[in-house]
Amino acid sequence: MTDNLQAVKAVDSEVYDIICAEEARQHDVVRLIASENYASRAVMEATGSVFTNKYSEGYPGRRYYQGQEFTDRIEVLATDRAKALFGCEHANIQPYSGSPANLAVYYALAELGDPVLGMGLPSGGHLTHGWKVSFSGRFYDAHHYGLDRESERIDFAQVQRLAREVKPRFIICGASAYPRLIDFERFAEIAQEVGAKLVADIAHIAGLVAGGVHPSPFPVADVVTTTTHKTLRGPRGGLIMCKKELAKDIDRAVFPALQGGPHMNQVAAAAIAFHEAMQPAFKTYAAQIVANAGAMADAFLEQGFRLVTGGTENHLLLVDLTPQGIGGKPVAQALERAGIVCNSNSIPFDTRGPFDPSGIRIGTAAVTTRGMKEAEMGRIVSWFARTVAALDDEAALDTIRAEVNEMCQDFLVP
């Protein structure tokens, strides 16, 4: 990619050097952050295209500035592809990212102070699902469901009880750190019973839904939000999909209520990502993400680690380090020194605080894009185990890093 950055090099060698260093880092380490991926070269070229120069407030055919012949074409193309890919009635590709997409849904479906029901952050939900430090917890009457203590899976009895009690405007399902399938139909039954809308945030699993390896929230969800860059492997961005009858409210919430001009370079890149996700190879990719996560889970269990829920059915795993008696943070830091990049994460019913949680979150979307398969997952888990056993042993971590680096040379990045 940096081959293409000759203008950057000529104008600003400082920025060029930093980009090159980041490119090398992404090549030389094993990237396991569950929300990250490697976008294709086509997606990155479109992100850096001339559409970055254009303002286009409004929607296709209804813009406020002239010069929209091609912005209209690219936005229609992107939304048509999103609708075809996910099988939905309406799509809005303008949200800048996932949090703005969720904010638009609150704006469209509720008034300030209205009750809403979402998954608690410590259970694996997202900040924008009503957590108190986000707009969603501050300006709405947010209530939270969580997990069953025994199974560590969504506690639907609690969801139903809370829904009946608080009568939310909408129930939001979907998660950032939940290793199991989401039962959208069960959520829809509860939402219907209490007259609430169902919002599904599929940011983490959108690529799995598109690839047919996770159940789709359509047609049961009223609104579906996602980012375009996680398992879906597009540019950084957001997308809202909904039933036709909510289209106007959603569109008005995104523009003019919350955003100005959409980032059309991002829209063009998203159109490419949707095209890529419609190809047969993407189904194979999505299936391999899940197979790789499963292989990792097996390897972790063999090495004696405890996994939240005992395993995984999607792209991510949560390793609970409580039995090892160490926190996730020092382990994540040692792993980074060893060339394995992931994040510490709270586990359900965590007894440690959010800045020093008990778990490590791991995702397989990025390593799968590089072509790594089950055998490499086994190697990664054995490096993980060696790292945990050698947290402060710089020499041991250097040895692991060299081995990781050597393996990475065999797997291309786009």
Question: Can you list the alpha helix ranges (DSSP code H) found in 110-175?
Answer: 135-138, 156-166
236 is catalytic: yes
Judged by CB under 6 A, the residue of 98, 211, 217, 359 near ligand DSN is 98
| Closest distance of CB 332 from ligand DSN, Å | 13
The residues in 363-382 that bind ligand DSN, with binding defined as CB under 6 A, are none
The residues in 115-134 that bind ligand DSN, with binding defined as CB under 6 A, are 126
C-beta closer to ligand DSN: residue 35 or 94 = 35
The residues in 199-228 that bind ligand DSN, with binding defined as CB under 6 A, are none
Contact predicate 131/346, CB 8 Å: no
Residue 229's SS3 state is coil
Contact predicate 211/282, CB 8 Å: yes
C-beta closer to ligand DSN: residue 251 or 350 = 350
| Closest distance of CB 126 from ligand DSN, Å | 6
57 is catalytic: yes
The answer to whether residue 35 forms part of the interface with ligand DSN (CB under 6 A) is yes
The one-letter code for the residue type at 18 is I
351 is catalytic: no
Q: Please name which of 388, 391, 324, 328 lies closest in space to residue 358, comparing C-alpha atoms.
A: 328
Please tell me the distance from the alpha carbon of residue 174 to that of residue 183, in angstroms, as a whole number: 10
Judged by CB under 6 A, the residue of 47, 71, 79, 176 near ligand DSN is 176
C-beta closer to ligand DSN: residue 35 or 346 = 35
Contact predicate 159/190, CB 8 Å: yes
| Closest distance of CB 316 from ligand DSN, Å | 9
Find the catalytic residue in 152, 155, 201, 313: 201
Q: Which strand (E) or helix (H) includes residue 343?
A: strand 343-345
| Closest distance of CB 231 from ligand DSN, Å | 11
54 is catalytic: no
Give Dmax (Cα) for the chain.
Answer: 63
| Closest distance of CB 8 from ligand DSN, Å | 27
For residue 163, give both structure tokens: 């829904």
227 is catalytic: yes
C-beta closer to ligand DSN: residue 26 or 49 = 26
Per-residue burial over 372-381, b if 16 or more Cβ lie within 10 Å, else e, is beeebbbebb
Please tell me the distance from the alpha carbon of residue 413 to that of residue 39, in angstroms, as a whole number: 9
Total residues interacting with ligand DSN, rule: CB under 6 A = 4
CB atoms within 10 A of CB 347: 26
Find the catalytic residue in 83, 236, 283, 373: 236
C-beta closer to ligand DSN: residue 144 or 204 = 204
Per-residue DSSP letter, 112: T
Q: Please name which of 154, 143, 141 lies closest in space to residue 184, comparing C-alpha atoms.
A: 154
C-beta closer to ligand DSN: residue 98 or 168 = 98
Residue 306's SS3 state is strand
Question: Can you list the alpha helix ranges (DSSP code H) found in 66-140?
Answer: 69-86, 98-109, 135-138
Residue nearest to ligand DSN (CB): 35
Find the catalytic residue in 81, 197, 230, 401: 230
| Closest distance of CB 154 from ligand DSN, Å | 17
Binding site for ligand DSN (CB under 6 A): 35, 98, 126, 176
Q: Which residues are marked as active site?
A: 55, 57, 201, 227, 230, 236
